[in-house]
Structure 1
Amino acid sequence: MKIIFCQLLSVLLIAFVLIAAGVPHHAGFVFIKRGTRDSLPADTIPLSKDSLDAPIHYKAKDSLIMQVQKKRLLLYGSAETKYKETNITAERITMDQETGIVEATKVTDTSGKAIGRPVMTDNGQSFESDTMQFNITTRKAKIYHTRSTYGEAFIGSQQSKRMADNTIFGFKNTFTTCDLDTPHFQFRAKRVKIIPDKLVISGPANLEIEGIPTPLFIPFAIFPITQGQRSGILSPQYVVNQQKGIGLENGGYYIGLGDNFDLTMRGDVYSYGSWSLTASPTYRKRYKYNGGLNLSFANTRFGDPSVKSEFSTSKDFRVTWNHSMDSKARPGVNFGAAVNFGTSSYNKYNVYDYNTRVNNNIGSSVTFSKTWQGKPYNLTMGLNHSQNLSTRDVSISFPDATFTVNTIYPFQPKEMVGTPKWYEKIGISYNTILRNQANFKDSLFGKQAMFDAMQTGMQHNIPISFSIPVFKTFTLSPGINYTEYWYTKQFNRKWDPNKPNLGTGTKGAIDTSYQAGLFAARDISASMSLSTALYGMYQFSKTSKIKAIRHVMRPTLSASYRPDLNSKNYYELQYNKEGDKQMVSRFDGAIIGVPSPGAFGGLNFGLDNNLEMKVFSKKDTTGNHEKKIKLLDGFGINGSYNLVADSFKLSTFSLYARTNLFDKLNISASGNLDPYQVDSRGRRLDKYVWQQGKLSLGRLTNASISLSTSFQSKDKKSVAKEAKIDSSLNVQGGDAAFAAQQRQLAQVRNNPGEYVDFDIPWRIDLSYSLSYTNTIIPDSGGVVKRVTQYVSFNGDFSLTPKWKIGLNSGFDFTNMQIAYTNMYISRDLHDFNLSINLIPFGTFRQFSFTISAKAGLLKDLRLNRTKQFYDL
């Protein structure tokens, strides 16, 4: 020990000389290490077993005092010591060489405010206290009045003891996720045990709110503080349902199986016998792929089993699968899936979200695509499924394949020299579609009737085209298009006067049979189009705020001819007992379509317009002080004239218009005009309406107009939010981020009250739609006119920075009734979110009250009370 003391004294003398020489502040180190060698002869006297094996670094801002006789070192003013991974900072630190204890304390100023509270950091853990003692030799510590941070958790203890293995035992403790010095809530427990990066275990604990004890006691508590993925129990939620009884919902177990895979098992159970089970594995590989699968089974028992007339059962299942592939995983190859398949009654009995319940259609899509690098080939293969939950109709298409050869120029030389000749611009491409589809009722899935309903077809299309300039301002585009259809079934339909008609309940219906085999039909057409652009401008005076208005017209005119190659595939079919007939194809209902009958030789014409205005603007930064405003993005008319038809040569006129006024109001409108007259029985006559002396292009058969706009106050934190979103997208990768966003958006739409932006004081979205149809019923002279109008609005506003009220609703002017309405109130409680959701109208009425903790650590600390439509 004398040798050690002499060595320590020598180091202190050297430090004193350096300090006297003007070294800023007070800094130094103590270094005592076994086996250390330098240029001097080796010391043959062995060091004691209690000597340290690493240096102690220390510094102080105010002063440093060495008490040689007591073997103590005193540090004053922003003192700091560091031994291996342990770092201690405080206003005052005392190091005792005899005991190996480092003691850190705070001081108080004249106002009683604490200065320099001790903080110990060790292996990523942080402890803040009033007083602490750390034994360098045993690595044990005593900490008084400490507050420690473990991820989202804050643990305070009047006294705690830290063991050598970093395990901590606390006495008179508090646990909370509130980051305030005086937390809004906390659990108070007499004794706790903390296993770093694993668990916080406590005995009996009492919940305090705003420092006031509540009647809520728990016999013990286990709080996981593991960072990253961890397996564990998912706490269920207690519910009361008048149809299913008392139950526990969403309880289960989470299994973490590494960074690339995990599994969630959840289930529901009710007192009347209903139960459900859902397995949800997810998988991911960064920059490769990610996806998730949900397998749900439910056995639903409604009503009291003791009352047979009110008791019913239903067994259902549902399968969903989402898969996305990162675009960088295999350039040129992509595979994605969005599968949603199940029984028609699953949503009715097991889903409480309004949007899911009212959606009668579900569908699936699995797609594989490949693009050959440096080649013009593209291949897409997929499986598609659609299902109507009301009618129980199912449609499955597999395989559904498309092969495309992009436009190639066979007469173009490998090296272009000079201006290309006209024939070098000739381009040819190829496209083929293979489709195999079955339409059936869901009860026939997997049965022979499903396979009997299957249809297979293939379509080939070869377009040849090129374009050449004419008179510098026109573009002439000739082209030839050849299409061939392959079928595996040919339908034969005939009127059977003795067959029962299920629709009318009388005799007389169409009898359908089919012949299997390989059948073909083909179609060819030639066309030539001429297009140009005309510009007109009107300029105002220099003193006017309106500088100019520009009008752009883009007329198109094309001639086309299609010979009659398919009359042999059409025949007359009687469709009612009166003997009326119509022309039908032997391939009607084919999944790849049928070619049109008869010849066509005519003109197609169209006119598109664009209107812009240039105005004076003080906000312009280019120096011109001008701004362009789009008055009309587009408006025009389209039609055709068949030169070889024997009647009704002129087609209907299609009109359209669209604009976005002031970058706020979106307006779009469309309509159709029939240029032919009708007689008193509602039949079309081969006479134009303007031949009656009327100034009109035709009779309006249908029209629609829609308007939408949105307003909101400025979000001062929008820049920071966008940066946060961008950083998260960069971490996840494009495809993975998109899938995650879709899941989050669905959750937000389903629970608007729990996901509100308190940084936007108010927001409102408005939309209006109007549609008009004018249908004439032949042989009766009757006219059916139908007008539908619908307005929808949604928005919210903040009563205070913490209170927000929102409303999503609409009004149906046709039925004169309020549409689906959802009202919600949200309150930011700092550590908790409170939301009230109300659906007051309609079949699926609902009221829910939810209060939940924000911290993910306490996500199971959630109170929810929901009353469905059948409970009100």
Structure 2
Amino acid sequence: MIIFDKKLYVSLTCQKTSHNFTKIAFKPLHTNLFNIVLLSIFLTIGSGKLYSQEIKNKKKPLATVKQTDKPATAVTDTIKLDTVRPKKTFLDGKVKYRAKDYAKIDQKKKLITLYNEAELYYKDVELKSGIIVLNYEKDEVYAGRIKDSAGVLSQYPNFKQGSSEVQPDSIRFNFKTKKALIFNSRTEQGEFKIKAAVTKKENDSVYFLKNARFTTAADIDNPEYYFQTSKVKFIPGKKVITGLTNMVIADVPTPLALPFAYFPMSQEKSVSGIIIPSYNDSNTRGFSLQNMGYYFALSENYDLTVLGDYYTNGSYAMRFESAYAKRYKYRGNVNIRFENLINSERGYPDYSKQNIYNIQWSHSRDTKSSPTSSFTASVNMGSSKYFKQSINQANIGSSLNNTLSSSISYSKTFSTIPQARFSLSATHQQNTQTEEIIMTLPTLQASIDRVYPFVGKDGVKKGFIKNINLQYNLSGKNNIKTTDSLFFKPQMFRDAQIGMQHTIPLSTNFKVFKYFSATAATNYQETWVTKTIDKNYNVDQGKVVNTVVDGFDSFRTYNFTSSLGTTIYGTFNFGSDKRIQSIRHVMRPTISYSYTPSFEKYYDNYSVDASGRLTDQYTRFEGGIFGAPGKDNSNIVAFALSNTFEAKVRDRDSTKTEPKKVMLLNNLNFSTNYNFNANGKDVLAWQPLLISGGTQLLQNKMNVNFGATLDPYALDNNNKRIGTYNIDNGGSLFRMTNANLTLNYSFSNKGTKDDKNVQSQRNGGRKDDLFGTNTDLTDPRNSQFANEKDDDKDVISEFFKSKIPWDMTLAYSLTYTNLQRENKISGNSVMVSVNMDITPKWKGGVSTGYDFVQKGVTFTQFRFERDLLSWRMAFNWSPLGPNANWNFFIGIKSGMLSDIKWNKRSTLNR
């Protein structure tokens, strides 16, 4: 009998398999009265003594005890307590099991057998298999496969305890000791898939494996590669420690072997470890070990990677990379690169030595962490020639860019009335061609919001008077202008310019004749500086020299501006039955006037020869950090007209009743100005007419931008502008001095292209791949396959039944120049980049172009990549120009085994 819930007795014949969901306990068997009497007789005979006759014991009278007044002595019971502990019942939790065919209970052998799609649940243990045998006397369970109708073994066991899961051929598990013996187990831990002939589960956290293989391939039974070892200690979620380990590729053992191996498998955070270098050779620097280093998992919030290169001719490079983040607070990364480059050998004529470096820092703060303040940083500074000469960067977009820029800023807003705010920032601009560096360390900006002094209690701002407003702005700078060679040297700081400017703008806006918007403003500025100049003729040098004068000085300026503008709408209707039903034209004309008086009082005369002849004027604020006051008054009126053209077109889909809007021209702008103080010689009244425009064509896939400059004045015989109109000189109304046209066309049949070339974008370059994809040789695993996941469907058979995925970017640029009667095409080039999925596993791409003026091929790059399932192979080749190079890489996709790779590349021609 089996007792359920310790109360209900159910015979075996009445038991149902679907109801065995209760706690099991075993008690002594119950039998009928006859068996009890019979058993008592045999027990009495076996334990007693036999006599020929019954002998009665003689009874002795009990001794009388005399009563006394003393208390009676307590009698101690000499019978000892039973020291035999009751047997603990089997299992201390609920067991739930089921089977498709049957659940058989053998009470004699203490077995429960579950057959076909058997399932057993006990505490955190889940077991599914073809057959499950539970021995409740030994507290063990066995699970294995069964044969199907074709005689093939199927229904592999699936054993799950907590977060660990195993799929073996068979398994034996003890519920009390928690030990298990597993045959041909298959398990996954993170990216690793492990298969072992025999696995011994020592406890909840330690496994010992014999004849094991582990891999990151999708198919553990038929992997592309695996590591074979005879002994393994496996701690789930933490680490794998092996004995002699051999790498096997396509079932062929390789000579790659290690006496022992350690694989961290922590899922909570990264683990520190060595980064294995790659080997290369160079014609100019000798043999090298590249990208060797160490990764420090310092904490959950930040890490550090230290990488280095070494060449046998003495060249070396160091890189420090760190990423940090704190949820809902901030995130960023820091990259510091230094290279000591030696070309050739000492004593040879082509020997050279130089140090180059690059520092990059990016930081952003979550706006929710502090709504009233912010801190951001975007730093990219270093040697001007770093991206052109680096031995570990093939960043074409960055090497062609001529500007490096940085900005670090902190801002704070104060909840006052009126609201006040200030910001403190440091900026950096570097021209990599001239090696000139301009920095502000720091820049202070402060302001108080607009104040409307004439607004009534109702707060309505309407009319000329009530819209009058003023505010206060403060700007302070410490400006430094230096070069690469003087960067962060004492002279750099000695030449710094310090100044501060106070600005109080007063403005208003109002309506004129209902349809015109008018503005009027005046602006007062006061500028403070700490350095001025003094010009004098130096007799010894025979020229005019500038002498820097240290000390506080200031000047004050003011100006007046006004503008009048409106918006004009025009619609041309062609009829609802036409393909183009109407065209809408929106014009926004604006006329503005500005006047700045002469501040000649800040100007002085200086002599230009030994006789002391005064022929020129200067201001001591010349070259100042905030400029200088103007000597001549400015009296200018400016004209501007912007246009947009939009059409309503009947949709090709006949089910749609509403026409769709199509933008014909996003913008068409005209602008010029007239100077009333022009003298007709040095200063001409009319400025050239500037025309610019742009639109999008082909379903917004093609961007078209154009521009032109039209000069109304003629040229003399020396090609110098003169105060004679071109039409009066026998020419046309305007003389086109330059024009440009650019086309950008991106189209694809596989959706939106991902942004590429992040490094190039940080340097102000392009995000597309017209200049090729950047190859950061410190991380050669960057690939188009990096974010793709493998799937099990057979894409090969379906691939050629569909369109081949591809994308293309096309750019065309045309420039015309006629500033001094050149009348020539100064620029005419086309660039194209194409990427294509040649097969589901092969990707190819090319970036190239042609310059029709220089008659030569522009930068060209060929790209090929092969998805080798758990491996990746890539080859990039730039065959032309000073950046000609090639790079080949093959390695494992998994980040855990990223050091298992082979990388070979040519030496950059730098």
TM-score (normalised: structure 2): 0.82
Q: Which amino acid aligns with 1:197?
A: G
Deviation at 1:352, TM superposition (A): 2.5
Per the alignment, residue 69 of structure 2 pairs with: none
1:532 aligns with one of 556, 562, 566? 566
- Secondary structure at the counterpart of residue 367 of structure 1: strand
User: 1:28 is paired with a residue of what secondary structure?
Assistant: coil
> Which residue among 82, 89, 106 is the counterpart of 1:67?
106
Q: Does residue 402 of the first structure (1) align with residue 440 of the second (2)?
A: no
Q: Is the 8 A contact 2:26 2:89 kept in 1?
A: no
For residues 727-755 of structure 1, the C-alpha deviation after alignment (integer angstroms, 9 at most, x for no partner) is xxxxxxxxxxx99xx99999964369942
Cα displacement (A) at 1:488: 2.2
Partner of 1:636: 669
Q: How far does residue 842 in structure 1 lie from its aligned partner after superposition?
A: 0.9
1:665 matched to 2:690? The reply is no
Per the TM alignment, residue 689 of structure 1 is displaced from its structure 2 partner at its CA by 1.9
Letter aligned with residue 493 of structure 2: F
3-state DSSP of counterpart to 1:691: helix
Conserved 8 A contact 1:33-1:52: no
Residue 426 of structure 1 aligns with an amino acid whose one-letter code is I
Q: Secondary structure at the match of 2:896?
A: helix
- Aligned pairs for 1:86-235 (under 5 A) are 86-180=125-219, 181-229=221-269, 230-235=271-276
Deviation of 1:711 (Å): 0.6
SS in 2 for 1:588: coil
Residue 583 of structure 1 deviates from its aligned partner by: 6.7
How far, CA to CA, are the matches of 1:33 and 1:68 in structure 2?
A: 11
Output the amino acid matched with 1:600. Answer: S
Query: Aligned to 1:690, what secondary structure does the other structure show?
Result: helix
- Alignment correspondent of 2:901: 862
Distance 2:405 2:280 in 1: 31
Alignment partner, residue 459 of structure 2: 416
Q: 1:593 aligns with which of 610, 627, 636?
A: 627
Shift of the 542–574 alpha-carbon distance from structure 1 to 2, 3 Å rule, reads farther
Q: How does 1:583-732 map to 2 (within 5 A)?
A: 585-619=619-653, 623-647=656-680, 648-662=684-698, 663-692=700-729, 694-696=731-733, 698-715=734-751
State the shift of 1:539 in Å: 1.0
Among 419, 424, 442, the alignment partner of 1:376 is 419
1:511 matched to which residue of 2? 545
Q: Whole-Å Cα distance in 1 between the matches of residues 640 and 298 of structure 2?
A: 61
How many angstroms apart in 2 are the aligned matches of 1:129 and 1:825?
Answer: 40
Q: Helix, strand or coil for the counterpart of 2:578?
A: coil
TM-score after normalising by structure 1: 0.86
Q: 1:748 to 1:345 in 2, by over 3 A?
A: closer
Q: Distance in 1 between matches of 2:607 and 2:671?
A: 33
Q: Deviations over 1:497-525 (max 9, x none)?
A: 975xxxxxxxx866322222223333322
* 1:140 CA drift (Å): 0.8
Shift of 1:484: 2.9
Distance 1:318 1:544 in 2: 62
Report the alpha carbon displacement of residue 532 of structure 1 after superposing the two structures with TM.
1.2
Equivalent residues in 2 for 1:480-499, closer than 5 Å:
480-493=522-535, 499=541
1:143, distance to aligned residue in structure 2 (A):
0.8
Number of matched residues? 816
- Higher CA-based Rg: 2
Q: Which amino acid aligns with 1:29?
A: T
**Shift of residue 133, structure 1, vs aligned partner:** 0.5
Residue of structure 1 aligned with 2:808, choices 764, 782, 785: 764
Post-superposition CA distance 1:595-640 (Å, at most 9, x none): 433122342212211111111004498x533011111111131122
Instruction: Indicate if the aligned counterparts of 2:781 and 2:889 stay in contact, CA closer than 8 A.
Output: no
Correspondence for 1:29 among 10, 17, 22: 22
RMSD: 3.5
The answer for the alignment partner of 1:851 in structure 2 is 890
Task: State the distance in 2 between where 1:523 and 1:783 align.
Answer: 42
CA 1:447–1:573 in structure 2 vs 1: closer, same or farther (change >3 Å)?
Answer: farther
Alignment of 1:776-815 (within 5 A): 776=820, 787-815=826-854
CA offset digits 1:101-135 (Å, max 9, x no partner)? 10001112123444321011123111101111101
Give the Cα separation in 2 of the matches to 1:492 and 1:810: 53
Q: Unmatched 5+ residue regions in structure 1?
A: 35-42, 500-507, 723-737, 777-781
Tell me: CA distance 1:63–1:584, structure 2 relative to 1, closer, same or farther (3 Å). Answer: farther
**Does the 8 Å contact 1:495/1:574 carry over to 2?**
yes
2:817 pairs with 1:773: yes
Cα deviations across residues 197-253 of structure 1 (Å, max 9, x unaligned)? 222222333333333334443333322222132222222222223333222222222
2:268 pairs with 1:253: no
Residues 792-828 of structure 1: per-residue CA shift (max 9 Å, x gap)? 2212112112111101222233322222222101111
Give secondary structure in 1 for the equivalent of 2:818: strand
Q: Could you tell me whether the CA contact under 8 Å between 2:462 and 2:510 is conserved in 1?
A: no
The SS at the match of 2:492 is helix
**Partner SS for 1:542:** coil
Displacement of 1:31 after TM fit?
4.5
Deviation for aligned residue 1:645 = 3.5
Whole-Å separation in 2 of the counterparts to 1:683 and 1:363: 37
CA contact (8 A) 1:573 1:584 kept: no
How much does 1:288 deviate?
0.6
In 2, Cα distance between the equivalents of 1:13 and 1:864? 73
Contact 1:26–1:62 at 8 Å: present in 2 too?
Answer: no
> In structure 2, do the counterparts of structure 1 residues 462 and 96 end up closer, same or farther at CA, with 3 Å as the change threshold?
same
Deviation of the 1:545 alpha carbon = 0.8
Q: Specify the code of the residue in structure 1 equivalent to 2:599.
A: L
- Kindly tell me: are residues 745 and 126 of structure 1, through their superposed partners in 2, closer, same or farther at Cα, counting changes over 3 Å? farther
**Cα displacement string for residues 698-752 of structure 1 (whole angstroms, at most 9, x for unaligned residues):** 322332221111110034xx89x99xxxxxxxxxxxxxxx99xx99999964369
Deviation digits for residues 238-297 of structure 1, max 9, x if unmatched?
222333322222222222232122222222233333333333333321111122333444
> In 2, distance between residues paired with 1:553 and 1:850?
57
Measured in 1, the distance between the counterparts of 2:661 and 2:781 equals: 40
- The 1:523–1:329 alpha-carbon spacing in structure 2 relative to 1, beyond 3 Å, is same
Specify which of 338, 344, 347 is matched with residue 378 of structure 2.
338
Q: Distance in 2 between matches of 1:429 and 1:121?
A: 70
User: 2:31 maps to what in 1?
Assistant: none
1:272 aligns with 2:317: no
Percent identity of the aligned residues? 31
Give the whole-Å Cα distance in 2 for the aligned partners of 1:570 and 1:706. Answer: 48
The Cα of 1:666 is off from its aligned counterpart by 1.1
How much does 1:448 deviate? 3.8
Gaps of 5+ in 2: 28-81, 756-760, 790-803
Contact 2:535 2:606 (8 Å CA) reproduced:
no
Deviations 1:76-96 (A, max 9, x none): 232222333222111210011
Distance of 1:249 and 1:295 partners within structure 2: 16
Deviation at 1:15, TM superposition (A): 9.2
